[in-house]
Amino acid sequence: MNATAAMLEVSGLRRRFGALEVARGIELSLPQGARQALIGPNGAGKTTLVNLITGRLRPDAGRIRLQGRDVTALDPAARVKAGIARTFQINQLFRGLEVVENVAMSVAERRGEGGNAWRPAAAQAEVLDEAMEILAGLGLADDALTPVRLLPYGRQRLVEVAITLGLQPRVLLLDEPAAGVPAADSRNILEVLSRLPAEIAILIIEHDMEVVFRFAERITVLVDGGILTEGTPQEIAADPEVRAVYLGERAAPGTDPA
Ligand SMILES: Nc1ncnc2c1ncn2[C@@H]1O[C@H](COP(=O)(O)OP(=O)(O)OP(=O)(O)O)[C@@H](O)[C@H]1O
């Protein structure tokens, strides 16, 4: 493994759906510990890019590397094992199960003990301990024994983040983690995200510019399947091209919605 390589490196990534080119030679590089946002108008290709990185979709061309290792040919499960985890726009929880059970399943899966109901009690206890530790780190310890369906939606979104942490990712892709969450809870989600382990490279897809500007150290702007520009939040907010793309779409980055 190459220690100087980017944690995640996407190069020349292309994908089309029929006549529609949704990824036009995308180049993206995330260093270890990145706090990066991917923004762009509806239909720009953000979710498609995440699906290409996680292996849900196959690219027509291009490579995806994780710390120098080419993972382009791996299926989604193998990429998770390699260290690429994601959350989804719509939540994917086992709503009837307790919070801690949801997290314990991903911990057990990572440890290679998923589906083994007869694993030794000590191993089960270790899995539960680890799940509890993750929940405590996200401020969810008090909710551990609550069935997910009884939690407010904002906290359910955090349980999804907890599940991904159970996989011990090196790269974490967060697809609109605050979507559909009331503003007050969205702030809580942000606070929790800001405390995620420093070594994980995080790419967040987000429409809410307040979330983007608070969280991200760098922002990549995707338009029509291509990268328009990339820079610090200040650079992006001041970029006339970015502002032009967003005018009429929603408030320009860094401005208050009217
Ligand atoms: N499986 C598919 N088959 C055909 N077209 C698709 C498919 N998935 C996405 N598209 C199209 O590709 C384009 C990019 O979609 P994508 O969901 O990646 O955009 P996005 O930037 O994530 O949008 P949003 O912000 O609305 O979530 C859209 O025009 C969409 O309709």
The overall average pLDDT reported for the chain is 88
Alpha helices in the chain (DSSP H): 46-54, 76-82, 99-110, 121-137, 153-166, 183-194, 209-215, 233-238, 240-246
Instruction: Give the mean pLDDT of 86-90.
Output: 75
CA torsion, ordered 120, 123, 127, 128, to nearest 10 deg: 70
> Residue holding tokens 């382009």?
72
User: pLDDT tens digit string along 55-83?
Assistant: 999 999 999 999 999 999 999 999 999 99
pTM score of the predicted model? 0.88
Q: What sign does the CA torsion over 167, 173, 179, 183 have? A: positive
* Residue 48 Cα to ligand 1 middle (Å): 6
Q: What is the pLDDT of residue 122?
A: 73
List ligand 1's pocket residues with C-beta within 6 A: 17, 20, 22, 40, 42-48
Model confidence pLDDT, tens digit, residues 115-137:
666 666 777 889 999 999 999 99
pLDDT attached to residue 118:
64
Question: How far is 105 from 107, CA to CA, in rounded Å?
Answer: 5
* Length of the chain, in residues: 258
pLDDT beyond 70 at 254: no
Provide the pLDDT for residue 258: 37
Task: Please determine, for residue 90, whether its predicted confidence score (pLDDT) is greater than 90.
Answer: no
Name the residue of 21, 46, 212, 223 whose CB sits within 8 Å of the most ligand 1 atoms, as the mutation to test its pocket.
Answer: 46
Looking at this predicted complex, what is its ipTM? Answer: 0.95
CATH code for 8-93+169-246?
A: 3.40.50.300
Q: CB neighbours of 22 closer than 8 A, spacing ≥ 6?
A: 15, 16, 45, 48, 225
